[in-house]
Structure formats: C-alpha cells, structure tokens
C-alpha cells in the first residue's frame, strides 16, 4: 500500500514539473507546411527552382558560420569571460551567391544600440535602438537555456553580450529570407524569429568545434610557437571537406577569425548545410601565425 502511495506521489511530482516547463517555453519555429513537395535544392545552385523565400534561402544563400578567437573581453570585471577550450560565436551571415552582401535589410527590426555601419549605401541613416534588450526577447519565450548558452559561447568584446547579439540579428538575419516575419504566419508572436535565429546560430556553431578540431591534431594556442597557414587549414579541411576562411590581423600574423561557408537546402532553421570552400582568400600570412593563449583571467571553465 505504501508503495502505491509512493508511486502516486512520484507521478504527481513528475506531472507538475512537466506542466511547469511546458507552460513556460513558447515555440519559435516558422511555418513550413507550404514547403512540403517543393523542389529540394541547395541555395545558389539552381535559383529558378527556389520559388518560396520562406522555404529556401533565396536571399543570402551563401551562408557563413563565423567564429572568433579573442584573448580577452574587456568586461572581465563584470563576469564576461571566454569559454576555455572553445572559440566563440560571431554569427551566421547571409552573403549573396556572388559573395556580395546586404546589411540591415528591415529597419522595423532594428534592435542594435550602436549600428555599424551607421548608414546604408543609399544614405539611409540606421537609427540606434534604445528599447528593451534582445535578452528580454529570449526571456519572454522562456528560453533561459538558450540565454545561458549564448552567455557562455557568444561573447562580445568591450560591450555587453546582448549588444553583439542584437547587432548580429538586425544586421544579418533581417537579410536572410527564411527569418522574414511572414514565414511565421499565421500566429506570429513578436520577436519569435529573433529567438529562432539565435537557436539556429548556436546549432550551426556546434557543427564546427574549431578548438577541438585543432587541438586533436596537436595545434594548441601558444605564446611561444607559431603555426603555418597550411597546418591550420589542413586540419580543418580534414574534418569539414572544405577550406574555411582564416582571418588574421597585424599583417596576417595573429589568428582571430574563422568562417565556414555553405549552401543550404531547405530553411536555414532546419535544412541541410553543405560545407563549401571559402570564396575569400585568407588574410593570414603563409607562415609565422600566432594562435595566442588567452589571458588566464579572461577564461572560465565550461562544460560541453
């Protein structure tokens, strides 16, 4: 008898917990019902086949997952630290098929407090945003898990993380057709696509554990040894089947960026990413590249 009472109590606890979590988290997915049965094709490869801009990336179809290797954040005193053993997220960029790109494509979704650039090529001034931060958009959807992940892996330098997230959404996601507001109808909830974009970026970032790929081949950050461009490129090529863009500053001697290129089949949210060679030559020198160790006090231990 006491066993039965115990079981009943256990079931009600599980039930209450489930109810709690289900009512707190709002879905963010787009509506892809109209995509079923359409031709299945990678972006930029046969654009005449791609007729629905919510079903395929018809604007911004050369998609770049970009990452940073910073050695400090500048906001260490506020607890803004870098994840030990991991590069950090820069964003998910929509280049046009020819490698050109657009920015700030929808000023009604401008959440960037410090727009960069501050004006569009046609002279339009991009108004700085001063409303509630995108952090509150994520909270409104109950996505504290996503927020924690972003505060761990999507780290700004010299300003709060949420400013960087806002910049990446308003600059880039507004130019990616599958994040258009119309793709979330009927029943669009304001900022749904913002949260959905952030989920998508973290998903694609996880396809490219740059630190671990390099470390597994013996390439570690070092303040005493330099690497060659081909050493780094060859490791990443061996795991992705494509040459990423590697970015270096100070005359190509200090590595701080990697960009992975793709064409995408279906939506950016749920479709298939095919890795492609970079369309941009590396800014790194052939030899003598520093992949610096971070300042020890700028890092925190993270779990994967």
Ligand X SMILES: *[C@@H]1O[C@H](CO)[C@@H](O)[C@H](O)[C@H]1NC(C)=O
The token pair that represents 81 in the structure block: 């630290």
Is position 272 annotated as part of the catalytic site? no
Q: Return the sign of the alpha-carbon dihedral for residues 223, 226, 229, 230.
A: negative
Contact 205, 89 (CB under 8 A): yes
Q: Is 23 in the site for ligand X (CB under 6 A)?
A: yes
How many chain residues are in contact with ligand X, going by CB under 6 A?
17
Place of tokens 């707190």: 24
Stretch 226-265: interaction string toward ligand X, x if CB under 6 A: -----------------x------xx--------------
Return d(Cα 188, Cα 91) in angstroms, integer. 24
Is position 172 annotated as part of the catalytic site? yes
Contact 84, 296 (CB under 8 A): no
Report, in Å, the least distance between residue 129 CB and ligand X.
Answer: 32
Return d(Cα 61, Cα 99) in angstroms, integer. 10
Residue 15's contacts (CB-CB under 8 Å, 6 or more residues apart) are none
- Of 42-50, 93-101, 158-166, 262-270, the window that binds ligand X (rule: CB under 6 A) is 42-50
Radius of gyration of the chain (CA): 21
By C-beta, is 5 or 22 nearer to ligand X? 22
Catalytic residue chosen out of the listed positions 45, 76, 84, 90:
90
Taking CB under 6 A as the criterion, the residue among 277, 286, 287, 288 binding ligand X is 277
Report, in Å, the least distance between residue 61 CB and ligand X.
Answer: 14
Q: Is 224 in the site for ligand X (CB under 6 A)?
A: no
CA-based angle 277:37:60, to the nearest 5? 35
Q: Is 48 in the site for ligand X (CB under 6 A)?
A: yes
- Of 55-63, 131-139, 165-173, 289-297, the window that binds ligand X (rule: CB under 6 A) is 289-297
Q: Is 19 in the site for ligand X (CB under 6 A)?
A: yes
Return d(Cα 122, Cα 115) in angstroms, integer. 15
Taking CB under 6 A as the criterion, the residue among 7, 11, 18, 39 binding ligand X is 39
In the region spanning residues 69 to 108, those forming contacts with ligand X, defined by CB under 6 A, are 71
Catalytic residue chosen out of the listed positions 168, 193, 199, 299:
168
Q: Is 132 in the site for ligand X (CB under 6 A)?
A: no
Is position 90 annotated as part of the catalytic site? yes
Q: Is 118 in the site for ligand X (CB under 6 A)?
A: no
In the chain the first and final C-alpha atoms are separated, in Å, by: 43
Pairing of strands 82-83, 299-300: parallel
What is the rounded (10 degree) CA torsion for 235, 239, 243, 246?
-60
Return d(Cα 128, Cα 115) in angstroms, integer. 6
Residue nearest to ligand X (CB): 49
Place of tokens 């004006």: 119
Taking CB under 6 A as the criterion, the residue among 11, 13, 49, 216 binding ligand X is 49
List residues near ligand X by CB under 6 A: 16, 19, 23, 39, 46, 48-49, 71, 223, 243, 250-251, 277, 292-293, 295-296
Catalytically active residues, by annotation? 90, 168, 172
């Amino acid at each position: 008898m006491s066993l039965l009472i115990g079981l009943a109590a256990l079931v009600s606890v599980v039930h209450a917990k489930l109810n709690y979590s289900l009512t707190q988290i709002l879905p963010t997915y787009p509506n892809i019902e109209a995509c079923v049965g359409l031709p299945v094709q990678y972006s930029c490869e046969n654009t005449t086949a791609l007729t629905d801009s919510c079903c395929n990336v018809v604007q911004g179809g050369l998609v770049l997952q970009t990452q940073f290797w910073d050695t400090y954040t500048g906001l260490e005193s506020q607890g803004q630290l870098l994840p030990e053993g991991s590069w950090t997220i820069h964003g998910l960029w929509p280049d046009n098929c020819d490698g050109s790109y657009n920015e700030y494509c929808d000023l009604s979704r401008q959440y960037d407090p410090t727009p960069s650039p501050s004006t569009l090529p046609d002279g339009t001034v991009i108004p700085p945003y001063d409303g509630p931060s995108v952090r509150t958009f994520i909270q409104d959807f109950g996505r504290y898990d996503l927020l924690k992940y972003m505060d761990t892996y999507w780290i700004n330098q010299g300003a709060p993380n949420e400013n960087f997230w806002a910049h990446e959404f308003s600059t880039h996601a507004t130019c990616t057709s599958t994040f258009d507001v119309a793709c979330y109808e009927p029943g669009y909830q304001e900022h749904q696509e913002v949260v959905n974009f952030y989920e998508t970026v973290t998903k694609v970032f996880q396809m490219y554990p740059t630190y671990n790929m390099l470390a597994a081949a013996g390439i570690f950050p070092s303040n005493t040894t330099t690497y060659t461009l081909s050493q780094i490129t060859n490791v990443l090529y061996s795991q992705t089947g494509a040459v990423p863009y590697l970015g270096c500053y100070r005359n190509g001697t200090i590595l701080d960026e990697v960009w992975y290129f793709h064409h995408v089949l279906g939506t950016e949210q749920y479709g298939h990413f095919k890795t492609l060679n970079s369309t941009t030559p590396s800014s790194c020198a052939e030899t003598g590249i520093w992949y610096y160790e971070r300042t020890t006090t700028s890092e925190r231990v993270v779990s994967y």
